[in-house]
A and B are shown apart, each in its own frame.
Chain A
Amino acid sequence: MNGLAETLAHTLAPGLLYPTAGAILFALGLYGLIRRHHLVLRILALNIMGSGVFMVLLGVAARGEGPPDPVAQALTLTGIVVAVSATAFALALVVHLTRLTGHAVMLPGPPDDDAPVEDISRGEHHADGGPAASDEDRPS
């Protein structure tokens, strides 16, 4: 009984609980990154993966009795700023892609080498098709 309580206390200590949650966040972000197609959602998934990494770093830094490890915290601070810069650049690319092709979706599967480039931007040719075109310019 005592051993069980000890194991439980060990398992629920922040030094182990938070890194575990960080790993879960990482896996969750990875899952979202694979399954969702809209690029903004993919950027969100990447950010969630990054937050999982930060949580692992900070959780490991908070292990033990003394004050937390300042090097890991400084690394995380650097990471947050880098993440926001990369996110901003990625979002600018998404806006540019949308302006060029008319949708912000990553096409599933490898690009077809034989397909003409215009094929991607079908929406442009159906632009005057009104609302009916909206179903066609989204790749299925």
Chain B
Amino acid sequence: MNGLLVLFDLVLLAGIVGVAWRCLASTDLFRAVVLFITFGLLLALAWVRLEAPDIALAEAAIGAGITGALLLVTLERLRSIMAERRSGRPHTPPPDPTGPHALLRALHDPPPERRTFIPALSFALVVGGLLVTALWHQPHSTGLEPVVDAHMDISGVDHPITAVLLNFRAYDTFLELAIVLIALLGAWSLGRHDLIPARPAPGPILPGTLRLLVPVAIVTGVYVLWAGSHAPGGAFQAGAILGAAGILLVLARPRQLPMAPGVPLRLGLTAGVALFLLVGLYGLVAGHGFLGYADAWAYPLILLIEVAATLSIALALVALFVAGRPAGDDA
């Protein structure tokens, strides 16, 4: 049995490293992105093997799914920009970017020059060798698991990872939500969003499937959010699922995005950070320290913050996919 597990580990890791290698060695960007999505899915398997189902959920939804969608839409944007520049009419709406083999050079990277081979290889080997040596000589310790376990009863939730994320190390999560918001502000600062260079799929298949899938995605998202208090799941996974549903909706009607109402959109985007900050400040005033909760209030407060964080993350992921401020918005 143990031998089989070791075999599984070796095959999985060889697959992961091999896919990563093919991804970085490919001259065709589309192929590299598809391999990267595969890489993310294999990683999710590895996380399951390492007894980290939360991370596996997040990796499959965010690392493979959302990142993959972002990369693919970026490739389409690059292709469309290149096609626009070549056609010499810079202010026309994006032409059909996938005409007969339209300018795939935009999505092509020539093989690297030979002269960088030796320096890059030796540098990577030295860094990797040092890392491996350090990891092999690192003394084994039990980590913080006993400490977390001993304090679970005051955390307000039953799932250790949620307890760490939203109670013991709430500071990290607060700053993480802030980073998501800052990334979005950065993307918005680059200008108003243009048309997504995707054509609406003709035929009833995609809208019909979406009518089925989006309600299921919403139910699943809320379920994953609620399950986070006692089982794998939580705000990030739920936000990723809802964000994916939003991205699908955007893709189904790329030419007629609804005019996003400015104020509610901004309120939703900042809800996670703002609520977290308010609760943290309240804890400071009430004497529990910044981002501390009274024991009796821990569960409702955590749930409240998680709902707001889910909303913010989902909206931010969709907004990052659309990239750029909403149209007709001169704020």
Of all chain B residues, which has the CB nearest A82? B179
Which stretch from B126-134, B201-209, B211-219, B276-284 is at the chain A interface? B126-134
A18 CB, nearest partner CB in chain B, Å: 6
Please state if B109 and A92 are interface contacts (CB–CB under 8 Å).
no
Of all chain B residues, which has the CB nearest A66? B145
Q: Per-residue 0/1 for B40-76: is the Cβ within 8 Å of any A Cβ (1 yes, 0 no)?
A: 1001001101111011001100110011001100110
Q: Per-residue 0/1 for A62-94: is the Cβ within 8 Å of any B Cβ (1 yes, 0 no)?
A: 111011111111111110111111111101111
Inter-chain contacts of B191 with A (CB < 8 A): 96
Please state if A29 and B24 are interface contacts (CB–CB under 8 Å).
yes
Q: How many residues of A are counted as interface, with CB atoms below 8 angstroms from the partner's CB atoms?
A: 86
Bound-state CA distance A23–B184 (Å) is 31
Inter-chain contacts of B58 with A (CB < 8 A): 77, 80-81
Inter-chain contacts of A26 with B (CB < 8 A): 127-128, 131
Bound-state CA distance A23–B119 (Å) is 19
Please state if B112 and A35 are interface contacts (CB–CB under 8 Å).
yes
Bound-state CA distance A108–B143 (Å) is 43
A132 CB, nearest partner CB in chain B, Å: 11
Contact among A16, A48, A56 with B23 in the assembled complex (CB-CB below 8 Å): A48
Inter-chain contacts of B136 with A (CB < 8 A): 16, 20
B157 CB, nearest partner CB in chain A, Å: 12
Bound-state CA distance A98–B242 (Å) is 30
In the complex where A96-B190, A124-B85, A127-B88 touch, is A77 in contact with B67 (Cβ < 8 A)? no
Of all chain B residues, which has the CB nearest A64? B142
Please state if A58 and B47 are interface contacts (CB–CB under 8 Å).
yes
Inter-chain contacts of A93 with B (CB < 8 A): 186, 190
Bound-state CA distance A62–B236 (Å) is 22
A115 within 8 A of B: no
Residues of chain B from 309 to 331 with CB closer than 8 A to chain A in the complex: 313, 316-317, 320-321, 323-324
Please state if B140 and A19 are interface contacts (CB–CB under 8 Å).
no
Please state if B164 and A71 are interface contacts (CB–CB under 8 Å).
yes
Of the four ranges (under 10, 10 to 19, 20 to 34, 35 or more), the interface on chain B belongs to 35 or more
Inter-chain contacts of A75 with B (CB < 8 A): 169, 172
Please state if B24 and A31 are interface contacts (CB–CB under 8 Å).
yes
B135 within 8 A of A: yes
Residues of chain A from 9 to 57 with CB closer than 8 A to chain B in the complex: 9, 12, 14-21, 23-32, 34-38, 40-41, 44-45, 47-48, 51, 54-56
Contact among B49, B55, B85 with A102 in the assembled complex (CB-CB below 8 Å): B85
Please state if B82 and A98 are interface contacts (CB–CB under 8 Å).
yes
Inter-chain contacts of A130 with B (CB < 8 A): 86
Bound-state CA distance A12–B191 (Å) is 51
B154 within 8 A of A: no
Please state if B112 and A37 are interface contacts (CB–CB under 8 Å).
yes
Inter-chain contacts of B324 with A (CB < 8 A): 92
B260 within 8 A of A: no
Please state if B172 and A34 are interface contacts (CB–CB under 8 Å).
no
Inter-chain contacts of B9 with A (CB < 8 A): 12, 14, 17-18
Bound-state CA distance A105–B62 (Å) is 26
Inter-chain contacts of A120 with B (CB < 8 A): none
Residues of chain A from 88 to 137 with CB closer than 8 A to chain B in the complex: 88-89, 91-96, 98-99, 102, 104-105, 108, 123-124, 127-128, 130-131, 133-134
Could you tell me which A residues sit within 8 Å of B by CB distance?
9, 12, 14-21, 23-32, 34-38, 40-41, 44-45, 47-48, 51, 54-56, 58-64, 66-78, 80-89, 91-96, 98-99, 102, 104-105, 108, 123-124, 127-128, 130-131, 133-134, 138
